[in-house]
Structures are given as structure tokens and as C-alpha cells.
Amino acid sequence: MTAPPATPPAAPEAAGPRRVADALWLVVPSVLSVVAAFAVGGLIILALGQDPVAAFESVLTTSFNTRFGTVETLHKWVPVLLCAYAFAIPLATGKFNIGAEGQLLVGATGGVAIGILWSDLPMLVLLPCVLVAGALAGAVWSGIAAVLMVKFNVNEILSTVVLNFISFQLIDYVASHVWPDRGAGHPATVRVGEGALLPGIGQAPPLHSGVIITLVLVVAIAIFMRRTSTGFEMRAVGANLRAAQVHGIRTSRLAGAGLVVGGAVAGLAGAIEVAGVHGKMLEGMQSNFLILGIIVGLMSRGSMIAIPFIAFGIAVLEVGAGSMQRTAQVPVEMVLIIEALILLFLLLSDIARAKLRRN
Amino acid sequence: MENPRLEMRGIVKTFGPVTALDAVDLVVGRNEVHGLLGGNGAGKTTLMNVLYGLYRPNAGEVLLDGQPVSIGSPKDAIAAGVGMVHQTFLQVDNYTVTENIVLGTDVPGPLRLDLTEARERIRELSERFGLTVDPDAVVEELPVGVRQRVEILKALYRGAKVLILDEPTTNLTPQEVDDLFGSMRAMVDDGMSVVLITHKIRETLSVCDRMTVMRDGRRVETLERSDTDAEHLAEKMVGSTTDPGAVVEAAALGAVDAEAVEETLSSVGTTIAVAVRDLVVVNDQGHELIRGFDLELREGEIVGIAGVAGNGQVELAEALAGVRPLRAGSVEVSGRAMGGLATSSWLEHGVAYVPEDRHRDGILPTASITENLVLGSQRSPKVRRFGLIDWGAAKQRAVDAIAEFSVRANGPGTLVGDLSGGNIQRVILARAFARRPRLLILHNPTRGLDIGSTRFVYQQVRTATAAGCAVLLISEDLDEVIALSDRVIALYQGSRAGEWPHGSVDAYEVGRSMTGLGEARV
């Protein structure tokens, strides 16, 4: 900048309260939605004849009372968060990736394959290979949907969902025919080599170091979306596809890239689950991460900064669910009901906010 | 005035924090064409929407023939004898004229739809007021001017005593404007009152008996035709008119006769900046909407494209902006063939596009002013440092642009979707000019803007041409095209239908060519 501006920036003092008001309009409805969801959930628990206070106490405190709870929560946080990114990154370009669980499973397959085939390699070589293989495999899997979308205009919602089903068959085949663990009593592969396991942090139960990798990824994704040209272009496409095209952005190629990046992140989640939690691949390891990721992604309303925090909140609820069932005899599904209610109330609050602000 | 037809007293209308109407009074007499004059955002349409029951006023009262009336919906308005013709028509495309007019009124019975009587009445009304229409024509086959007559007949059929016309001349050729004004006179001679909403001073002077000037939601003055002239009205409407180039601007605003203005805003050089040869462009459905178009633009030159909407303007603009591929032909900018290159290459080569639909094609509504200014140059080394976008510097540039382009916003972080139309256009212009364009394509650049913003656009055009930028001005506003352009080209069905140099443009001749009636001269 050579010449200083002729006039000072327009009314910065007016911007202050305005920004606060904008932030309040964003935060207050979210808080109210959570409170309302718990209130309705409490009523349902009452109707079941149980004590909602005791139930919520165990849901909300389990993660923080014991080291086991904390570690468990952070281990849950990693796949929920990565699946949320897998949903939210393509969504930034206006595309819906409903295939995070398939990408996670294929990523796990890629990771487990390297971990078993090269099991003799030292950790310094093997572990990065496992993680990279997971991310690549996930990227290839969502890449199929991306190619179908860009080249043949196939709806990405359909293709990613259908690819989930194929992935179930794929891991079933790998776990029962390629590297089966006959003694497991459940379709699962044999364990990966020692060098493929993420080292633990702290005393038992140890925290796997995938959490650190995830934290680095959180920062990297924030920088990617905020500071790189490609990230900016993705947001531009999501904000207004036509305007992005008019201003020289190759929108369909970019939307495809978003899907591939999302798949890579989900694939990495699969590899981290293998290398940090299970030490092998097993059927059902995708848990309900797909739906949780979608919930988190929708709750964030496009804010990449908000996603890690929301994902943490969901992880707390998920871990608390088990102990709630033990201590208050409320079924674990109650937590899923509350999560769904939060989302419903958030969507309602969007409508209410738009109406209120207009007046 | 004794015994007026319509009185509106102290009308107040607010939208959230914005006061759109601030205690406005309006008196319209019998047998009177009353001009409601003002720029966009002055509150003219809002005032009439209150009268027509589309908005409920916060305060004020309405009297018709001296009786207070309560109008809560368009239905009430029609029952009270108020009719309104909007800029966009609500018509069922595949119905006939008669069916469209009768739709929503009481027909003889639920089982019998005999339109003979209705057809006769429509024929009678259209003859009485010179609104030539075939009652049996299907409306989708009719040109805009005739569809407007259908809309007027709709109001007359429902027994309107007060007819409101909202900017009725926007899409009409000069000939059609003359016919419309003739019909308006016939109506007031027949005992009706007509309110003409317009921002064109020339129109009010040629047809109105009295006129009310509005600015910023207030009534400035109400005048008799005989007591005023264009200069006085322009001053009331715009404020001061002493700046350089004000005559051209006033002409473009329709205040004075555009054909007579000798000044131009351009500074034509000798070097050919843009050469278009045998251009063929297709629309999204694959139809050829531009067929064999040739054009040469010199540095600093303004060429205006006049035409009725839908004759290939969008396709021409998008093709020359590099947004739409060329089906055939060539486009050279500063000697470089641009055909087949990606949109981003056109941008890099100095082609800037100000699209007609600002909201759809021009901005990221949920992004800040800073981000919107970066859009399109996010890969240029100017905005990047160490491979990442330097938002600090971008923000500083946005602050400068906000000051330079007088964008009314709280700061560079303001979301562009929250800005008014005029301020959005300023952001778009700031972005276009930051790239120092060699070719600037403006498509309806002042549509919907208030007078301040309109004049600002014209000033920016002059700045651009002074820097050697060639400007292609595509506009449906004939006054604007004629006043600003060094050459006017009429576009009809994707081909050029005539060309006139500045100073020898006959608006009627342009109008004939725009509608395919001119003698072909290329």
C-alpha cells in the first residue's frame, strides 16, 4: 500500500456494537437450542420414570471425572471430528458427502493392508505409511464419486451413499478372506505390526497420539480454508456458484477437489482408528461416526473453527451415554435423541432468527 | 385544491431501522396525470405500494373523493377504485388477453365461463383509450409493450378511478412511449386520475399536469407543469448540477434531451483495444442468440448497445467477459486472441465485467467486503504472500476502496449481502477498477440505483476511459446509452441493427431498429 487512505476507516466505533450483536445472534440461539434439547430430553426421561438430573449428571461429567473418561472422549473426538470435516469441506463448495463411513472403512483397509504387509518395518517408516495409505485410500474412494460428478454429472449424494454399501462388502471380504483372524469370533483382520501402532501418551490408559495429529490437522484445515487460494475459492463456490464462475473459478473441478479432500480426511480417520484404537480392522468399526459427523457439520453452519468444539461436545455426550445407562438406567439411545433435538432446534432457530431480525 | 380525487396525508412507513417514507403528503386532482418523480430509493414506489395495499403504513391516512378509506390489501384497493401496473407483470402466459383480464373477477357463474361480454367490454375499453390489443391473442406471444397494455386494461376492467403506473416506459421504445402517453391523456379526459412513477424528468414534463418530487423518503415539492422546467426539477431531484460532466449525467438520467448533448465522458484514443469478428454465441439451451457480431473498440472509447431485453445482451456480455464460450468467431483484446481461454485468463488480461444481475453474478453475499474485493484475484501475486492470501493487506485495500468508492458500510468486515443495491454496485466497481481493466463491460450498470450511485457509476466510467479503458455499455435505458456513448449500436435478435455516432442519434430511429423495424444499416 503506497498512499494512505484519504479518510479514516468508515465508522469503526459503529462496527464494535454491531459485531457484538452479530456474535450474540449467532451464539444465543445455539445455546438456547442445546438447553431446549436437554429440557425436552429431560421430559422424556421423566416419562420413562427415571431421574433426568442423575441421567444428565452422568452424561455430562463422565468425560471429566476419570482419566479413563477423558481418554475415551478424546478417542471418540478424533473420528467424529474427522468425519465432520469430511462432510463440511465438500459442503463448503455446496456438495453433500454422505459417504464418510465408506471412506473411513476404505481408509482403514488401506492402513491395515500396509500395517500387515510391511509389519516388519520400523515405526518411523511404517506408521507414516499407514496413515498416508489410509488418507489416500479414502481419497480414492470419494474420488470415484468426484469423477462421476464432474465428468458425468452424477449426483454426489447418491454416489457417496451407494459407495458406503460397497465398502461394507469390501471390508467384509478383507476381514474374512484376505487377512482373517479366525479366533476373533467376529469378522476382523489379524493385528498390524508393532511399528504401525500410534504410540500412547501418559500412563494407563494411554492417550493415542492420533489426537496430536488431529490437533495439527485442525490448524492446517483452518489455515487451508482461510488463507489458501483454493480454500477461498471453495468458500466462494459455496457462497455463490454463479458469481464464482463469473470471476474465473472452475467450480466443478473445485467441487470435485472438495470431495476428494473430504474423503482423504475420513480415510485418515479410518487409519487412526486402526493404528490408535483397534490395532486391526473389524466390522462395525465405523460405529455411527457418519451421522455424528453430519450433525456436527450441520451445527457448525459453515464455520471450520466451530467444528472441533462441537465435535468435542458430541464426543462428551457419546461417552457419557454408556455411564448414564449404568447409573440412571436410561438407555444410551437417549443421547442420540438429544443430539437430534439439538439439531432440530438449531434449524428452527434459523427460521426464528430470520423472522426476528427482519422486524 | 378543491375536491381532489386522492389525498394521502402524513404517510409514514418504516422497514426496521430504515424510514422509507417520512410523513409524505400527496394530493392528486381529478382529470390529472400526476408525476411522482424521484431517483431510486426516493420512496415513490413505496408510497404507491401503500396506496395499493401492499404495505401497511405506520401512520397517515388516505382519502378517496374526500372519504377516508382503509386499504389493507390490493383487493381493498381495487374495490376502492385504485389500480396499479407494476414493472413486472403477473400474467398467465398461456392464457388469452381476455382470460388474463377476467381472471380473479366475478364471472357469470361457476359452471359457465362465457367470455363474450367480457371480450366486448375489453374491446370497447381498448378502443376508447387507444390501447390496441387483440382480446383473443395469447399473452406469451405479445411484445412487452402490448403486455403492458393488457395490464392497464386489467385495472380499467376492474373500474379503476386512480391508475398507478410504476416506471412504465422502462422497456418501451420511443414510439410505444408516445402511444402510452396518448392513452394516459385519454384516460384523464374520461374522468380518471393517473399517477406516473418515474425518474425521468423529460417524461413528466411531456405528459404530467402536476408533479411531486420525492427524495430520501420525503416530498420535496409539488409543482404545476406550467410553473417549472427541466433544470428546476433536476435540481430538486439530484441536488446541485454544477459538477463537470453534469449535463451528460443529467441526460443519462433522462433530465434533458440526450440527443442534444455534445459533450461526452470518453477520451477516444487511436489504438484498437478490442476487436470482435463474426461472433456467434449460444445460450444455455443451445440457441444462437448472437449471430455474426462485429465490433471494434478503441482505447478510451464508449460503445453503447441499445436493445430490448432478450435480444442477446446477456450472451454478448458474458461472451466478451470470457464467462460464456464463443461458438464461432474471435475476440481480441489488446491484440491477443482470447477465444478458448479460461475465464481467469480473460480476467488476467484486463477484462472486467459488471454483470446485470448484481446479486446473482456479482457478489458473495455471505462474505465480507474484503473477501468480495479479493474474488477473482485470489491467485494473483498481489494478494498473496508466501503462498497464502494476505488478509491483512487485503483488508487495508478494502478500507481504501470503501473510502475511495464511498461505500456506506460499517467497515471492511461488513457482509456484502447486507448492503444496499447502490453500495453493492460500488463494491463491484471497486473490484473491477482495482484490476486496471483494458475492457470494461457494463450491463445495465445503473438499474435500480439511487441517483447518487448512478452518478457515481458515470464518474467512474469517465475515470476509466481517461485511463485508456475501452467501455462496452449494454443498457436497456436508451437515454443512458445515447448520452454516454461515442457510438450507439442497436441490437436486434443477436445482430446489429444500426449504428450511430454520438451527436447524430435519433432516438426514434434507434427505437425502430431495436424492434426490427429499422432499415438495416451496418
Which site among B410, B418, B428 would you substitute to test the A interface, given the most A Cβ atoms closer than 10 Å to its Cβ?
A: B410
CATH topology of domain B6-239: Rossmann fold (3.40.50)
For residue A9, being part of any structural domain is answered with no
Q: Is residue B483 classed as helix, strand or coil in its secondary structure?
A: helix
pLDDT recorded at residue A12: 39
Q: Is residue A137 classed as helix, strand or coil in its secondary structure?
A: helix
Classify residue A302 by burial, with Cβ atoms within 10 Å: 0-12, 13-18, 19+: middle
Q: Is A249 in the B-facing interface, judged by CB distances under 8 Å? A: yes
Average pLDDT over chain A, rounded to whole?
88
Partners of residue B211 on adjacent β-strands: B35, B223
State the cell numbers at B76. 381493498
Q: Would you say residue A272 has pLDDT above 50? A: yes
Classify residue A250 by burial, with Cβ atoms within 10 Å: 0-12, 13-18, 19+: middle
Per the CATH hierarchy, to which homologous superfamily does domain B260-514 belong? P-loop containing nucleotide triphosphate hydrolases (3.40.50.300)
B127-166 residues touching A, CB cutoff 8 A: none
Partners of residue B15 on adjacent β-strands: B18
| Over residues A150-162, mean pLDDT | 94
Distance of alpha carbon A244 from alpha carbon B188, whole angstroms: 51
| Over residues B420-427, mean pLDDT | 87
- B321 to chain A: nearest residue by CA? A246
Q: Are B22 and B14 in contact (CB under 8 A)?
A: no
Length of chain B: 522
Which site among B315, B361, B383 would you substitute to test the A interface, given the most A Cβ atoms closer than 10 Å to its Cβ?
A: B361
Q: Is A7 in the B-facing interface, judged by CB distances under 8 Å? A: yes
User: Could you report the per-residue pLDDT of A29-50, keeping only the tens digit for each?
Assistant: 888 888 999 999 999 999 988 8
Closest CA to B32 of B154, B150, B177, B195: B195
pLDDT recorded at residue B108: 60
Q: What is the DSSP string of B58-92?
A: SEEEEEETTEEE---SHHHHHHTTEEEE-SS----
Q: Are B109 and B117 in contact (CB under 8 A)?
A: no
- Delimit the domains of chain B by residue range: 6-239, 260-514
A93-A97-A102-A106 Cα dihedral, nearest 10 degrees: 0
State the cell numbers at B422. 447502490
**B403 to A232: CB separation less than 8 angstroms, yes or no:** no
| B369 contacts in chain A (CB < 8 Å) | none
User: Could you report the per-residue pLDDT of B439-488, keeping only the tens digit for each?
Assistant: 999 999 988 777 777 888 888 888 888 889 999 999 988 888 888 889 99
For residue A303, being part of any structural domain is answered with yes
Domain assignment of residue A249, given as a range:
77-316
pLDDT recorded at residue A11: 39
* Type and span of the H or E element at B389: strand B388-389
- B354 to chain A: nearest residue by CA? A246
pLDDT recorded at residue A3: 41
| Over residues B344-350, mean pLDDT | 92
- A242 to chain B: nearest residue by CA? B361
**B16 to A358: CB separation less than 8 angstroms, yes or no:** yes
Closest partner residue to B411 (CB to CB) among A6, A10, A233 is: A10
**B364 to A240: CB separation less than 8 angstroms, yes or no:** yes
Q: Would you say residue B135 has pLDDT above 70? A: yes
Give Dmax over CA atoms of chain B in angstroms: 78
**A1 to B400: CB separation less than 8 angstroms, yes or no:** yes
Q: Are B98 and B105 in contact (CB under 8 A)?
A: no
**A12 to B347: CB separation less than 8 angstroms, yes or no:** no
Task: Say if B6-239 and B260-514 have the same CATH topology.
Answer: yes
For residue A359, being part of any structural domain is answered with no
State the cell numbers at B86. 407494476
Classify residue A356 by burial, with Cβ atoms within 10 Å: 0-12, 13-18, 19+: exposed
For residue A4, being part of any structural domain is answered with no
| Over residues B279-295, mean pLDDT | 90
Partners of residue B197 on adjacent β-strands: B36, B166
pLDDT recorded at residue B480: 85
| B402 contacts in chain A (CB < 8 Å) | 9-10
For residue A294, being part of any structural domain is answered with yes
pLDDT recorded at residue A5: 39
Buried b or exposed e, range B356-390, using 16+ CB within 10 angstroms: bebeebbbbbebbbbbbbbbbbbbeeebbeeebbb
Bigger pLDDT: B38 vs A86: A86
Distance of alpha carbon B502 from alpha carbon B463, whole angstroms: 19
* Type and span of the H or E element at B279: strand B272-282
Length of chain A: 359
**DSSP label of B418:** G
Q: If phi over 0 gives left and psi between -120 and 50 gives alpha, with beta otherwise, what is residue A304? A: alpha
Closest partner residue to B399 (CB to CB) among A9, A232, A250 is: A9
pLDDT recorded at residue B116: 84
Average pLDDT over chain B, rounded to whole?
87
pLDDT recorded at residue A256: 93
Which site among A93, A228, A230, A247 would you substitute to test the B interface, given the most B Cβ atoms closer than 10 Å to its Cβ?
A: A247
pLDDT recorded at residue B245: 54
For residue A82, being part of any structural domain is answered with yes
Partners of residue B303 on adjacent β-strands: B472, B487
Q: Indicate the residue type of A348.
A: L
For residue A15, being part of any structural domain is answered with no
pLDDT recorded at residue B522: 43
Q: Residue A122: is the preceding peptide bond cis (ω within 30°)?
A: no
Bigger pLDDT: A11 vs B136: B136
Q: Would you say residue B242 has pLDDT above 50? A: no
pLDDT recorded at residue A4: 40
In chain A, how many domains are there? Answer: 1
Q: Is A12 in the B-facing interface, judged by CB distances under 8 Å? A: yes
- The lowest-confidence range among A291-305, B108-122, B148-162, B425-439 is B108-122
**A243 to B362: CB separation less than 8 angstroms, yes or no:** yes
Cα distances from B63 to residues A211, B74, B85, B188, in angstroms, run 73, 16, 21, 19
How far apart are the CA of B394 and the nearest CA of chain A, in angstroms? 10
Count the neighbouring beta carbons within 10 Å of the beta carbon of residue A150: 18
How far apart are the CA of B46 and the nearest CA of chain A, in angstroms? 17
pLDDT recorded at residue B255: 57
Closest CA to A92 of A293, A254, A306: A254
**B361 to A6: CB separation less than 8 angstroms, yes or no:** no
Q: Are B255 and B233 in contact (CB under 8 A)?
A: yes
- pTM value is 0.75
| Over residues A160-174, mean pLDDT | 95
Q: Is B437 in the A-facing interface, judged by CB distances under 8 Å? A: no
Q: Would you say residue A13 has pLDDT above 80? A: no
| Over residues A148-163, mean pLDDT | 95
User: Could you report the per-residue pLDDT of A303-322, keeping only the tens digit for each?
Assistant: 888 899 999 999 999 999 88
Strand ranges, E, within chain A: 200-201, 207-208
Q: Is A354 in the B-facing interface, judged by CB distances under 8 Å? A: no
Q: Is A229 in the B-facing interface, judged by CB distances under 8 Å? A: yes
Query: With bands split at pLDDT 50, 70 and 90, how would you rate the model's confidence at A218?
Result: very high
| A16 contacts in chain B (CB < 8 Å) | none
* A164 Cβ neighbours under 8 A, 6+ residues apart: A98, A99, A101, A102, A290
